[in-house]
């Protein structure tokens, strides 16, 4: 089966040649430009031939002398980047420093400025290290291991646990290569991953003692970069995602199937099914327009908002069972909350001190003048009920969202100006209209890890 999967996910020779030609063409173009750059290097998975078929990702690094001032370095990097894309679509993106990325003839091209230094440890940003990564892996990673890298990338991608962008809190490509290098091949890797523990350390070059590495990096998974012992390659991986990966490898080992790489065909529910499923839960959502910003940033922002709103709801005693963010990266953002109940009782119980505590009792009784019912004594304590300020979660979210809109800044603030609270009716409308939302919302309603059904 793995062989068949590989046929589907490995670029053909012609494709590879075409990609390499395109990369070389752009590289030459930059080399011939006037400017302060010294060299242009193809990096990333294309340079290492570990990319997935159809990914069409060209990462080019423009190198500057290490003595060039930070300001000039940035300006030159952006200038060259923009020149490359003259007549094409491009945008400014950020990792630790700004760079330009865009599209040329269907390829996603990134032009990343970097300092030319001898050791990766002297660098300041993650992407700068890529040429060092390529150099390190060269000759170490065999051809068959490259197949394994592709299999593991695709496996992770399919369960939405792959990539370096903030959206996924996942495992980046380079980390996948290191996993294969460490364990040997795809199947052994899955076995090893299936018994990973929190605080797992993968330190190929043995830079650290296990406990020291754990203390220093303090992350669910620690993969020490062989080219820089002070960097954890998998720093972005969240504990949640790590647990999902572990569970998925176990499911695969029990019952391997193609679905682990390509998913199941039927991903979305019918409208009728969705409507039925909604009857069983209490849902509330905040929809707003897509902020004018790079997708990575927007995902981070919506996730932060989701957490913030969930906390605010909890403070008002609405028990939030789940909160999840979604965006189509174009027009819409939606944060969905599953609550235990949208409507709470009118009254809110307040537990006071023990009756035997004289002074505390006096204070408690004095402090609460406007009571609904009580004070009375229950199991030795003063108890009273006061009026709940927000018995309805929708009402509360309306108020809270308008407060949020005035607190946030920039593009997000603007986007939040166009917002609506979504209940069953609005959610179903969106379900009907937007195919991407349909897929997300089907998953949400199901509330089950897809890979358990592969």
Interacting residues with ligand CTP (CB under 6 A): 43-45, 51, 55, 57, 59, 126-127, 129-130, 133, 164, 172-174
164 binds, among Mg ion, ligand CTP, none (CB under 5 to 8 A by kind): ligand CTP
Q: Is the peptide bond before 375 cis (omega within 30 degrees of 0)?
A: yes
Question: Helical H runs in 351-408?
Answer: 358-367, 393-407
Q: How many residues bind Mg ion (CB under 5 A)?
A: 4
133 binds, among Mg ion, ligand CTP, none (CB under 5 to 8 A by kind): ligand CTP
**Does 163 participate in binding Mg ion (rule CB under 5 A)?**
no
Out of 11, 44, 77, 391, the only residue in the binding site for Mg ion (CB under 5 A) is: 44
The answer for residues whose C-beta is within 8 angstroms of residue 54's C-beta and 6 or more apart is 11
**Residue of 389, 356, 360, 357 lying closest to 372 (CA atoms):** 389
Cβ 243 to ligand CTP, closest distance in Å?
21
HSE-up of 282 (CA within 13 Å, CB side)?
Answer: 13
Cβ 206 to ligand CTP, closest distance in Å?
20
227 binds, among Mg ion, ligand CTP, none (CB under 5 to 8 A by kind): none
Measured from the CB atom, the residue of 50 and 249 that comes closer to Mg ion is: 50
CB of 288 within 8 A of CB of 333?
yes
Measured from the CB atom, the residue of 149 and 416 that comes closer to ligand CTP is: 149
CA 58, 299, 180 angle in degrees (round to 5)? Answer: 50
**Does 291 participate in binding Mg ion (rule CB under 5 A)?**
no
130 binds, among ligand CTP, Mg ion, none (CB under 5 to 8 A by kind): ligand CTP
Using the 8-state DSSP alphabet, how is residue 12 labeled? Answer: P
Measured from the CB atom, the residue of 72 and 91 that comes closer to Mg ion is: 91
The answer for residues whose C-beta is within 8 angstroms of residue 195's C-beta and 6 or more apart is none
**Residue of 84, 234, 270 lying closest to 162 (CA atoms):** 234
Cβ 77 to ligand CTP, closest distance in Å?
15
Cβ 231 to ligand CTP, closest distance in Å?
8
Cβ 149 to Mg ion, closest distance in Å?
12
Measured from the CB atom, the residue of 55 and 325 that comes closer to ligand CTP is: 55
Measured from the CB atom, the residue of 51 and 438 that comes closer to ligand CTP is: 51
Cβ 305 to ligand CTP, closest distance in Å?
24
**Tokens for 109?**
């091209």
Measured from the CB atom, the residue of 227 and 324 that comes closer to ligand CTP is: 227
**Does 45 participate in binding Mg ion (rule CB under 5 A)?**
yes
What one-character-per-residue DSSP string does 408-432 give? S-HHHHHHHHSEEEE-HHHHHHHHH
The answer for residues whose C-beta is within 8 angstroms of residue 233's C-beta and 6 or more apart is 172, 174, 175, 178, 223, 224, 225
The residue range among 50-58, 92-100, 265-273, 323-331 that interacts with Mg ion, by the rule CB under 5 A, is 50-58
Measured from the CB atom, the residue of 109 and 193 that comes closer to ligand CTP is: 109
The answer for residues whose C-beta is within 8 angstroms of residue 271's C-beta and 6 or more apart is 428, 431, 432
**Tokens for 427?**
């959610």
The answer for residues whose C-beta is within 8 angstroms of residue 126's C-beta and 6 or more apart is 95, 96, 164, 231
Measured from the CB atom, the residue of 44 and 81 that comes closer to Mg ion is: 44
State the residue number with the nearest CB to Mg ion: 44
Name 288's bridge partners.
Answer: 333, 419
Calculated CA dihedral for residues 414, 415, 417, 422, nearest 10 degrees: -170
**Does 131 participate in binding Mg ion (rule CB under 5 A)?**
no
**Does 57 participate in binding Mg ion (rule CB under 5 A)?**
yes
288 binds, among Mg ion, ligand CTP, none (CB under 5 to 8 A by kind): none
Using the 8-state DSSP alphabet, how is residue 291 labeled? Answer: P
Cβ 443 to Mg ion, closest distance in Å?
26
Sites for Mg ion among residues 59-98 (CB under 5 A)? 59
438 binds, among ligand CTP, Mg ion, none (CB under 5 to 8 A by kind): none
Q: Which residues bind Mg ion (CB under 5 A)?
A: 44-45, 57, 59
């Amino acid at each position: 089966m793995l062989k068949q999967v590989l046929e589907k996910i490995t670029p053909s020779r012609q494709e590879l040649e075409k990609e390499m030609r395109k990369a070389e063409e752009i590289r030459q173009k930059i080399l011939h430009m006037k400017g302060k750059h010294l060299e242009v290097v193809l990096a990333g998975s294309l340079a290492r031939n570990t990319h997935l078929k159809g990914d069409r990702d060209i990462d080019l690094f423009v190198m500057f002398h290490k003595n060039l001032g930070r300001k000039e370095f940035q300006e030159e990097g952006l200038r060259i980047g923009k020149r490359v894309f003259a007549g094409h679509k491009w945008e400014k993106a950020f990792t630790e420093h700004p760079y330009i990325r865009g599209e040329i003839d269907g390829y996603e091209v990134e032009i990343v400025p970097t300092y030319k230094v001898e050791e990766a440890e002297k660098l300041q940003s993650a992407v700068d290290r890529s040429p060092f990564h390529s150099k390190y892996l060269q000759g170490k990673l065999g051809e068959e291991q490259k197949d394994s890298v592709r299999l593991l990338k695709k496996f992770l991608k399919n369960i939405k646990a792959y990539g370096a962008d903030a959206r996924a809190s996942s495992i980046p490509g380079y980390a996948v290569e290191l996993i294969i290098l460490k364990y040997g091949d795809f199947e052994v890797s899955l076995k090893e991953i299936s018994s990973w523990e929190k605080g797992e350390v993968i330190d190929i070059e043995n830079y650290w003692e296990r406990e020291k590495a754990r203390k220093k990096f303090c992350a669910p998974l620690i993969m020490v970069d062989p080219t820089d012992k002070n960097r954890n390659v998998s720093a972005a991986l969240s504990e949640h995602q790590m647990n999902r990966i572990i569970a998925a490898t176990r499911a695969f080992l029990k019952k391997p199937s193609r679905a682990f790489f390509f998913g199941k065909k039927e991903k979305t529910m019918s409208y009728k099914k969705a409507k039925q499923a909604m009857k069983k839960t209490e849902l509330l959502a905040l929809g707003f327009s897509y902020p004018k910003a790079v997708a990575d940033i927007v995902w981070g922002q919506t996730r932060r908002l989701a957490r913030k709103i969930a906390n605010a709801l909890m403070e008002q005693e609405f028990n939030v069972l789940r909160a999840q963010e979604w965006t189509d990266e174009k027009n819409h953002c939606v944060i969905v909350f599953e609550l235990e109940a949208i409507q709470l009782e009118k009254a809110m119980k307040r537990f006071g001190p023990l009756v035997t505590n004289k002074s505390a009792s006096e204070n408690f009784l004095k402090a609460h003048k406007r009571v609904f019912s009580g004070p009375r004594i229950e199991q030795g304590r003063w108890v009273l009920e006061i009026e709940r300020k927000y018995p309805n979660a929708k009402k509360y979210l309306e108020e809270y969202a308008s407060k949020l809109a005035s607190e946030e800044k920039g593009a997000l603030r603007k986007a939040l100006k166009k917002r609506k609270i979504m209940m069953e009716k609005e959610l179903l409308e969106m379900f009907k209209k937007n195919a991407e939302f349909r897929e997300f919302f089907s998953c949400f309603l199901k509330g089950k890890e897809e890979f358990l059904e592969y």
